[in-house]
Structure 1
C-alpha cells in the first residue's frame, strides 16, 4: 500500500510540476489516464487515483466524456520548476542565493565578483563627496529616457577603443547588465522562441531565459569561442531568434573569441537573420583586447551590453545597451514602461568614478593581483587533482575539471556544510554535460581553508 501511495504521489508531483512551470496552463487537457500510465510506466488505476486526488484538491477538473483539465488562474511563475530538475546546490538560482545571502564567515570561491576590498572604494568615496555638492536636480530628479548624456558620451569614446562605433544616442543606460538583457528579451522574443547560449555560459542567462518562457539551446564552447560547426547545426535545427555570449573574457571558462571564429559567426548570423547580444562586462580585466562582434558588425545585428558591477561597485547598479538607433527607440519605450526613470544618481557616480585618474591605476592593480592569485592557485588545485580546462590570459575565472569519477554537485554539497560556496559545472551547462567541473573565482580563492575543505570532500567521494 505504501508503495502504491508513492506512485500516486509521483503522478501528482509530475502534473503539479507542469502546472507550476506553466507547461500546463488553465484549460489545458491532461493526457488521458491511459497515455499518462504508459508514459510513466504505471497502472491505469494508479493514474486514475492521482487524477481524482488532484481534482479533489482543485488543481484539475473532470469533464464527463472529455477528460481532465487544468483549472484556476495561471500559477505563479516558479523558475526553479522550469527545465530539468537539478539538485538545489546546482540550480543557478540557488548558487546565486548562497553567494548573496552569506555573511563574512562564508568563503565564496564560486561567486562571480571581486572581494569588496578589491573594488574601487576610494574612487567611489570621492565620487560620492563630489556628487553631494551637486545641484538638487542631480540628487532628486528622474533621468532622461536614454540616461545621463555625459556618461553616454564617455561610453561612446570608451567603446571606440575596442573598435565599436556607437554614437551617444545609440547608447541607453540601464539599471544593470541583467536589466539590459531583460529589456532586450522583452523587445525581441516571444514565449516559445529559441535562444542560443554558450555551453557552458553565465548561469543567470539560463534563469533569465526561463523567466521569458523561451527555449535555450547550448552550443559547445572552445578556447577560441563557440564551436562553429555546432553553431551552424543549431541554426539549422532550431531557427533561433537570439544568441547571448561574452566576446571578451568568457564566463565561466576565461577563454576569448578569436577573429576567425568571430567572422564565421557573423556570416552565419547574417544568413540566419540571428540577433547577437554581446555581454562585455569583463572588458576592463583584459590585458589585450579580444575581438568584439559589435565592432565587426557595426551594431547592425549585434547588441552590446555591459555594466560596472565587477570593477567599480556591485552595490551601485548601472549598465547600458548599445544598439542600432531604431532598436534603441523601442527599448526606450520598454524601459519607461517597466522602470520609468533610470538611476540618475548611479550614473553620476559611475561617471565620476570612471573619469577619475585613479580608476586606471586601480584596474592595473586588480589585473596584477589576479595574475598573482592565478600563479598561486593553479599549483594548489593541481596538488589535489583539479585541472584547468584552459588557463586564461586574464580575468578572475578558472574552469576546472575534477578528478575522474567525481561529481561536482556532491562536492559542492559537502563543502557547503563547511561554509565554502562552490559553483558546480552543471549550473552553467544547458546540456548538463559539465557534472565534473567547477568554476573558481581566483580572487575569492586565496584562503587555505578552501583547499583543505575541497581536498577532504574529494577524498570522501573517492
Structure 2
C-alpha cells in the first residue's frame, strides 16, 4: 500500500487505503468531504480531488454525483502490517517475533523473551507426563470445561491469597495462553478505534495484539518507578481510553518495578476516569519478595490480572489465566466458548497442575532466581565492557535494558548481528513513539555462549 508516486496525492491515497485496511472505512461508507480531508492531511482540496479520482479509477471507491465518494465493494483482508505505515522490519513487532520463533537451532537469541530449555523444570514435567499416561480417558480425549480445571483454579486462588488477593475459583478463568487472555479481554471491552494506554516502552506483542483489534494505541513514558503519573493522567483526559495494559513487576522490557506511591496514584487516576487496568503478572515467579501489585491494592474492582506459566515452567505447555470480577468472568467464559470452544487443553492444565504441585517446583524457582541474579551481574559486566549501559539493575527476571554508546542505532546493530546468526531486540520495537532507538533489550539467560558477545562487538564496530 505504499505510494507509487511519492507525491502528496499518493500520500492521500495511501491514507484512504490504510483506513480501509484497518476497517475504519467500511464498504458503502462515505469518505470524508474533500475540504475536511484536505484539512486533515494538510494539503490543498485539488490534491484530494486528484487522489479521489485516481482511487475511483482503480475501483477502490466510487463517486455518487451530488453526494460524494463512497467505499466500493468488499474490504481487503486485514493485513496487520498495513494497518499503519509500514515500519522498518527490524523494529516491526511481527518481524522480531518471527526471527525468534522461527530461528534455526544454531541461531543465538539474546533478543528473545523466554528461558533456554535446559533452565526449565524438565524432570518435574517428565514426571507429570508419566502420571498423565494413566489419567482418565476423558482428560486425554475430551474438550476442556469452559472455565478450565477446577483444581488448578483453586491452586491459583490459594497462591493469590498468599499475596493478599482474594479471588475464588469463580473469579478465575483458565485460557489457552497469556496472550489469549489479553485477546479475550480486548474482545470483551474494546471496539475498533477505542484508545488503549500502554507503557512506552512496553512488551511489543501488546502493540501487535492491539493493532489486530484496531485499537488506537497511546504510549505513556515509563520511568524507573513506573509510568509517569502526570502524563498518564493527562492521557486519560485527552484520549479517554478504555484500557491500560502493563506489567507492574519486573516490567518488560526495562526490568523496572512500580513504586508503591506510583501504584496508588495510578489506581486513583484510573478510577476517576473509569479506565480498566490489565495487569500482566507473568514475571511474578522471578521475585523473591512480591512488589506492589495493582490487583492486590484494587481487589479486582478496576484491575484484571492475567498471567501464564510460559516463563517459569514451559512455553510448550500452553495455559494462561484471567482473574477478574465474577460477572466479567461469566462474559469472558462465553467469549472463550465462541472463539475456542472451551478452556485450555485438559492435558495442558493437568501438566501445569501436576508440576506446580510437585514438591520440587518451589526449589526450581529458588534456584532459578539465584542463577538469574548471577547471570545479570556477569552479563551486565560484559556488556559494560562493550559500552552498553543497563538503564537499571532489576531486582529479578532475565532482562537488561541497555543504552548504546556514541549515538549508535539499535536497529542497525540488530541488522548487523543477524548476519552473524544472532537475534537482538532493538529498542524501538518496544516503543510506541519510536523514541528508544539507542536501546537494546538483552535476555541474560540466552547469553551463555561467548559467540553472542563476539558477534555483538563486531556488529557495534560495523555500525560505529
Which category describes the TM-score, using the shorter chain as reference length?
Answer: over 0.9
Correspondence 1:125-164 to 2 at 5 A: 125-164=126-165
Match of 2:120 in 1: 119
TM-score of the superposition, structure 1-length normalised?
A: 0.93
Q: In structure 2, do the counterparts of structure 1 residues 37 and 44 end up closer, same or farther at CA, with 3 Å as the change threshold?
A: farther
> Does the CA-based 8 Å contact 1:177-1:320 persist in structure 2?
yes
> Does the CA-based 8 Å contact 1:408-1:437 persist in structure 2?
yes
**C-alpha separation in 1, matches of 2:205 and 2:215:** 14
**C-alpha separation in 1, matches of 2:192 and 2:366:** 43
Correspondence 1:146-295 to 2 at 5 A: 146-295=147-296
**C-alpha separation in 2, matches of 1:290 and 1:54:** 55
**C-alpha separation in 2, matches of 1:68 and 1:308:** 51
Cα shift at 1:274:
1.5
Q: Secondary structure at the match of 1:235?
A: helix
Match of 1:419 in 2: 421
**Mean alpha-carbon deviation: is it higher for 367-376 or for 94-103?**
367-376
Match of 2:372 in 1: 370
Match of 2:350 in 1: 348
> Does the CA-based 8 Å contact 1:164-1:292 persist in structure 2?
no
TM-score of the superposition, structure 2-length normalised?
A: 0.93
Output one character per residue of 1:298-332: Cα deviation in whole Å (capped at 9) or x when no partner.
11111111000111111111011111111111111
Match of 2:92 in 1: 91
Q: In structure 2, do the counterparts of structure 1 residues 368 and 84 end up closer, same or farther at CA, with 3 Å as the change threshold?
A: farther
Cα shift at 1:109:
0.8
**C-alpha separation in 1, matches of 2:231 and 2:10:** 40
> Does the CA-based 8 Å contact 1:124-1:353 persist in structure 2?
yes
Q: Which runs of 4+ in 1 moved over 6 A?
A: none
Cα shift at 1:9:
5.7
**C-alpha separation in 1, matches of 2:195 and 2:4:** 39
Match of 1:379 in 2: 381
Q: Which runs of 5+ in 2 are unaligned?
A: none
Match of 2:102 in 1: 101
**C-alpha separation in 1, matches of 2:239 and 2:316:** 38
Q: Secondary structure at the match of 1:161?
A: helix
> Does the CA-based 8 Å contact 2:201-2:253 persist in structure 1?
yes
Match of 1:443 in 2: 445
Cα shift at 1:175:
0.4
Q: Which runs of 5+ in 1 are unaligned?
A: none
RMSD across aligned positions (CA): 2.3
Match of 1:335 in 2: 336
Cα shift at 1:78:
1.3
Cα shift at 1:153:
0.7
Output one character per residue of 1:440-459: Cα deviation in whole Å (capped at 9) or x when no partner.
11111222222222222222
**C-alpha separation in 1, matches of 2:307 and 2:317:** 14
Output one character per residue of 1:360-413: Cα deviation in whole Å (capped at 9) or x when no partner.
122222212211211211121111111111110110111111113211112212
> Does the CA-based 8 Å contact 2:22-2:214 persist in structure 1?
no
Q: Secondary structure at the match of 2:285?
A: helix
Cα shift at 1:172:
0.7
**C-alpha separation in 2, matches of 1:25 and 1:240:** 23
Q: In structure 2, do the counterparts of structure 1 residues 285 and 81 end up closer, same or farther at CA, with 3 Å as the change threshold?
A: same
**C-alpha separation in 2, matches of 1:350 and 1:411:** 39
**C-alpha separation in 1, matches of 2:425 and 2:342:** 35
**C-alpha separation in 2, matches of 1:444 and 1:68:** 54
Which one of the candidate residues 433, 436, 453 is aligned to 1:434? 436
Output one character per residue of 1:141-178: Cα deviation in whole Å (capped at 9) or x when no partner.
22222110110110001112222111111111000011
Q: Secondary structure at the match of 2:187?
A: helix
Q: Secondary structure at the match of 2:89?
A: coil
> Does the CA-based 8 Å contact 1:294-1:302 persist in structure 2?
yes
Cα shift at 1:19:
2.7
